[in-house]
Amino acid sequence: MQITKHKVAAIHYTLRDDSGRVLDSSAGREPLYYLHGEGNLIPGMEEGLEGRSTGDHFQLTVSPDKGYGERDPEMIQEVPMSAFGGQKVEPGMQFHANHGQVVTVTGVSGDTVTIDANHPLAGQQLNFDVEVVEVREATAEEVAHGHVHGPGGAEH
């Protein structure tokens, strides 16, 4: 069976940056299950999985425009230290902003904190090693909800 819209696929993957450093991997864990065609993965990954079958093993390169987008300098801001309620703030820490977006602290200087709301992988080419472990028909409930249920998916 091939991966097409409204099929559930399970994949193992390893994500590397251009220098070959591993950024994320499903190795040693359960495979990633997703409902194809519902935007549950970045666009370049879904496009690269379209038409693949169980047992396929391949490399996939995803450009920033099909991944997490280009870095947007307008998403970098300076905010007063007081916005963090007196807690210790250091570069690399992440916080949920008032609107729910995750921001990363990129600098602390006196009473000013520089935060970046860009996705950490924005602007990067993504290099995946992918293995398709399983492909199955989605249930009517999974299609209606737009995501996988049961093993590897949501329980609700």
56 shares a domain with 32: yes
Number of domains into which the chain is organized: 2
The strand pair at 112-116 and 102-109 is best described as: antiparallel
- For 133-139, what is the mean pLDDT? 96
Q: What angle (nearest 5°) sits at the alpha carbon of residue 11, between those of residues 94 and 15? A: 45
Residue that the structure tokens 């194809």 belong to: 36
Residue 74: pLDDT band with limits 50, 70, 90: very high
Residue 150 domain-assigned (yes or no): no
Residue 155 in this model has a pLDDT that exceeds 60: no
Percent of the chain past pLDDT 90, that is, above it, reads 87
pLDDT digits (tens, 9 = 90+) for 19-34: 999 999 999 999 999 9
HEC string of 6-71?
Answer: CEEEEEEEEEECCCCCEEEECCCCCCEEEECCCCCCCHHHHHHHCCCECCCEEEEEECHHHCCCCC
34 found inside a domain: yes
Higher pLDDT, 84 or 150: 84
Mean pLDDT of 44-68: 97
How much is the pTM? 0.82
Q: What is the pLDDT of residue 152?
A: 59
Is residue 153 a part of any domain in this protein?
no
- Beta carbons within 10 angstroms of residue 124's beta carbon: 19
Tokens of 66: 């099909």
Do both 51 and 26 map to the same domain? Answer: yes
Evaluate whether residue 1 is within a structural domain. Answer: no
Predicted confidence band of residue 148 (pLDDT cuts 50, 70, 90): very high
Mean pLDDT value of segment 52-75: 97
Residues 95/84, Cβ–Cβ less than 8 Å: yes
Confidence at residue 32, expressed as pLDDT on a 0 to 100 scale = 96
Do the Cβ atoms of 133 and 12 come closer than 8 Å? yes
Task: Taking residues 141-150, report their average pLDDT.
Answer: 91
Asked if residue 58 and residue 104 are part of one domain, the reply reads no
